Amino acid sequence: MVPIVSFLKNRRSVLKAAGLTAASLSAPGLLRAQSWPARPIKLVVPFPPGGTSDVIGRLMAVELTRTLGQNVVVENRPGAGTVIGVDFVAKSPPDGYTLGIIANSFCANQTLVKNLPYDGLRELRPAGLMAQSDHVLASHSGSGLKNLADLLAQAKKQPGKLSYASFGNGTSAHLAGALLCTQAGIDLIHVPYKGQAPAMNDLIGGQVTVMFGNWPEFRQHVRSGKLVSLGMATATRSPIASDLPTLAEQGLALESNSWFGIVVRSGVPDEVVQRLNQDINQALQSAAFKPALDEGGMASLAGTPERFGEFIKSEISKYAQVIRQAKITIE
């Protein structure tokens, strides 16, 4: 057996040689950060496969795997307007091995959901904002609708008969649809789904009348004629859809988009968050990621964790106003 005194002396020598001190030992977060990542990382997407957030998440996972030297595995946890997936991240250990994608709904839910199972501003920490995608208001080819005026006329003839789909309660598509009803003075039935992909499939099939959706996924269906664009929800015409009129041109000043960022559990060491932010920003400019953003008409939103935190707070305030204005409630 090694004598206690000898063990302690050897331990101090090893630590000294490694450049560590007693103070550093009292900072377990620093030690974890120095060895991070030492095993695979989970990236939680709070939507089902096939939507914009899932595509961006998988692209980012590939790039982070390359730069971090550990596998980053995407795990879809959809449901409850992203609450299920976000709550999973909020309840994860604060070790940097569980990342989560959040979108507009994260900010809307702070006002919309009465009993959130997590505190979004205290239990989660911004790591990096990634991208933004503009919305298009579209209908299925069998609806007979060609523009915003057609929708408004038909909705006023049949109040409470037409419907609009969304990615789920509290998502940007839900809020945009509610604002459409409020500003245009029409009554559409809201049909929430667990993500964009299933909602878009039902829109194409004619089970719902209209939907605000992300242009990258809707584009091919608009171009093929399966869906009809009633207007882009942008202030000016999009460079990648310059032939499509905006809703503003048709008299409705309504802008809508989806944005996506990555968060971690609060308590994750600063060094880990900074490294993660650096690699997220690097990925957004990579040869694989940047062309995908450009081709899809998505804007890169690279920046610091602090900037992302400020953005989140401003979005919470914005959506609180939208929710009050449109008198949006969920069961």
Banded model confidence at residue 330, pLDDT cuts 50, 70, 90: confident
Higher pLDDT, 268 or 22: 268
Q: What is residue 240's predicted lDDT score, i.e. its pLDDT? A: 81
Q: What is residue 33's predicted lDDT score, i.e. its pLDDT? A: 60
Question: Which residue pairs from 149-153 have beta carbons closer than 8 angstroms and sit at least 24 positions apart in sequence?
Answer: 149/250, 150/230, 151/186, 151/209, 151/210, 151/230, 152/184, 152/186
Higher pLDDT, 295 or 129: 129
Q: What is the pLDDT of residues 60-87, one digit of tens each?
A: 999 999 999 999 999 999 988 899 999 9
Q: What is residue 241's predicted lDDT score, i.e. its pLDDT? A: 87
The amino acid that residue 232 corresponds to is: M
Q: What is the pLDDT of residues 111-123, one digit of tens each?
A: 999 899 999 999 9
Asked if the model's pLDDT at residue 10 lies above 50, the reply is: no
Q: What distance lies between CA 167 and its chain's CA centroid?
A: 11
Q: What is the pLDDT of residues 134-163, one digit of tens each?
A: 999 999 999 999 999 999 999 999 999 999
Task: State the chain's mean pLDDT as an integer.
Answer: 88
Banded model confidence at residue 201, pLDDT cuts 50, 70, 90: very high
Asked if the model's pLDDT at residue 268 lies above 90, the reply is: yes
Q: What is residue 298's predicted lDDT score, i.e. its pLDDT? A: 86
Q: What is the pLDDT of residues 24-50, one digit of tens each?
A: 434 454 445 678 999 999 999 999 898
Q: What is residue 331's predicted lDDT score, i.e. its pLDDT? A: 60
- Give me the mean pLDDT over the 293-308 stretch: 89
Q: What is the pLDDT of residues 17-30, one digit of tens each?
A: 334 333 443 445 44
The amino acid that residue 76 corresponds to is: N
Q: How many CB atoms lie within 10 A of CB 325?
A: 12
Q: What is residue 5's predicted lDDT score, i.e. its pLDDT? A: 31
- Give me the mean pLDDT over the 293-313 stretch: 91
H-assigned helices in the chain:
4-17, 22-25, 28-35, 52-68, 83-90, 104-112, 120-123, 148-157, 172-184, 196-205, 215-224, 270-284, 289-296, 305-326
Q: CA nearest 159: which of 185, 177, 182? A: 185
- Domains, the chain, in order of start with CATH, read 41-132+258-326 (3.40.190.150), 134-256 (3.40.190.10)
Asked if the model's pLDDT at residue 239 lies above 50, the reply is: yes
Higher pLDDT, 14 or 268: 268
Q: How many CB atoms lie within 10 A of CB 82?
A: 30
